Amino acid sequence: MSLWGGRFQDGSSAMFRRVNDSFPFDRVLASQDIRGSIVWSRAICKAGVLSKDEQQQLESALNALLVKADAGELDFDASTEEDIHSFVEATLIEQLGDVARKLHTGRSRNDQVATDFRLWCREHVDLLTQDLELVIRSLLNTAKANQEVILPGYTHLQRAQPVRYPHWCLAYVEMFKRDLSRLRDLKARLNQCPLGSGALAGTVYPIDRQEIAEQLGFASPCLNSLDAVSDRDYVLETLFAASTSMMHLSRMAEDLIFFNTGEAGFITLGDQVTSGSSLMPQKKNPDALELIRGKCGRVFGSLQAMLVTMKGLPLAYNKDMQEDKEGLFDAMTQWHICLCIASEVVDTIKLDAQRCAKAAREGYANATELADYLVGKGIPFRTAHDISGQVVLGALAQKKAIEELSLDELKKYSDLIEDDVYGILQLEYLVNKRCILGGTGAEPVAKALDAALAQFAVKA
Residues forming beta bridges with residue 285, ordered by sequence position: 275
Q: For the chain, what's the residue count?
A: 460
Question: Which one, 83 or 369, has the nearer CB to ligand ARG?
Answer: 83
CB 325 within 8 Å of CB 233: no
Range in contact with ligand ARG (rule: CB under 6 A) among 48-56, 69-77, 95-103, 316-324? 316-324
Q: Does residue 86 bind ligand ARG (CB under 6 A)?
A: no
Question: Which one, 55 or 322, has the nearer CB to ligand ARG?
Answer: 322
DSSP state of 231: -
CB 108 within 8 Å of CB 196: no
Range in contact with ligand ARG (rule: CB under 6 A) among 37-45, 121-129, 318-326, 393-401? 318-326
Question: Which one, 34 or 425, has the nearer CB to ligand ARG?
Answer: 34
CB 403 within 8 Å of CB 425: yes
Smallest distance from ligand ARG to CB 228, Å: 13
Q: Does residue 37 bind ligand ARG (CB under 6 A)?
A: no
Q: Does residue 234 bind ligand ARG (CB under 6 A)?
A: no
Smallest distance from ligand ARG to CB 325, Å: 6
**What's the distance, Cα to Cα, between the start and end of the chain in Å?**
61
Per the annotation, the verdict on 156 as an active-site residue is yes
Question: Which one, 7 or 319, has the nearer CB to ligand ARG?
Answer: 319
Chain positions 133 to 162 lying near ligand ARG, rule: CB under 6 A, are none
Residues forming beta bridges with residue 158, ordered by sequence position: 155
Helix axis angle, 324-348 relative to 233-259, nearest 10°?
30
CB 203 within 8 Å of CB 106: yes
Q: Does residue 432 bind ligand ARG (CB under 6 A)?
A: no
Q: How far apart are CA 270 and CA 252, in angstroms?
A: 17
Smallest distance from ligand ARG to CB 283, Å: 45
Residues 64-88 as b/e (b if ≥16 CB within 10 A, e otherwise) read ebbebbeeeebeeeeeebbbbbbbb
SS3 for 257? helix
Q: Does residue 45 bind ligand ARG (CB under 6 A)?
A: no
Smallest distance from ligand ARG to CB 1, Å: 16
Amino acid at 369: E
CB 298 within 8 Å of CB 242: no
Question: Which one, 222 or 321, has the nearer CB to ligand ARG?
Answer: 321
Q: Does residue 30 bind ligand ARG (CB under 6 A)?
A: no
Q: How far apart are CA 179 and CA 185, in angstroms?
A: 10
What binding mask, one character per residue, do residues 100-129 give for ligand ARG by CB under 6 A, x or -? ---------xx--x----------------
Out of 156, 197, 220, 336, which one is annotated catalytic?
156
Identify the residue among 54, 81, 83, 111 touching ligand ARG (CB under 6 A): 83
Question: Which one, 317 or 413, has the nearer CB to ligand ARG?
Answer: 317
- Dihedral of CA atoms 166, 297, 306, 125 in degrees, nearest 10, equals -30
> What are the residues whose beta carbons fall under 8 Å from the beta carbon of 38, sequence distance 6 or more?
58, 59, 62, 63, 66
Smallest distance from ligand ARG to CB 226, Å: 14
Q: How far apart are CA 334 and CA 337, in angstroms?
A: 5
Q: Does residue 26 bind ligand ARG (CB under 6 A)?
A: yes
Out of 275, 277, 302, 406, which one is annotated catalytic?
277
Single out the residue of 126, 118, 103, 87 nearest to residue 49, CA to CA: 103
Identify the residue among 37, 203, 309, 322 touching ligand ARG (CB under 6 A): 322
What is the biggest distance separating any 2 CA atoms in the chain, rounded to whole angstroms? Answer: 101
Identify the residue among 22, 31, 215, 245 touching ligand ARG (CB under 6 A): 22
Chain positions 335 to 394 lying near ligand ARG, rule: CB under 6 A, are none
Question: Which one, 31 or 110, has the nearer CB to ligand ARG?
Answer: 110
CB 28 within 8 Å of CB 120: yes
Smallest distance from ligand ARG to CB 238, Å: 16
Smallest distance from ligand ARG to CB 310, Å: 13
Smallest distance from ligand ARG to CB 318, Å: 9
CB 111 within 8 Å of CB 28: no
Per the annotation, the verdict on 277 as an active-site residue is yes
Contact residues for ligand ARG, defined by CB under 6 A:
22, 26, 83, 109-110, 113, 317, 319, 321-322
Active site residues: 156, 277
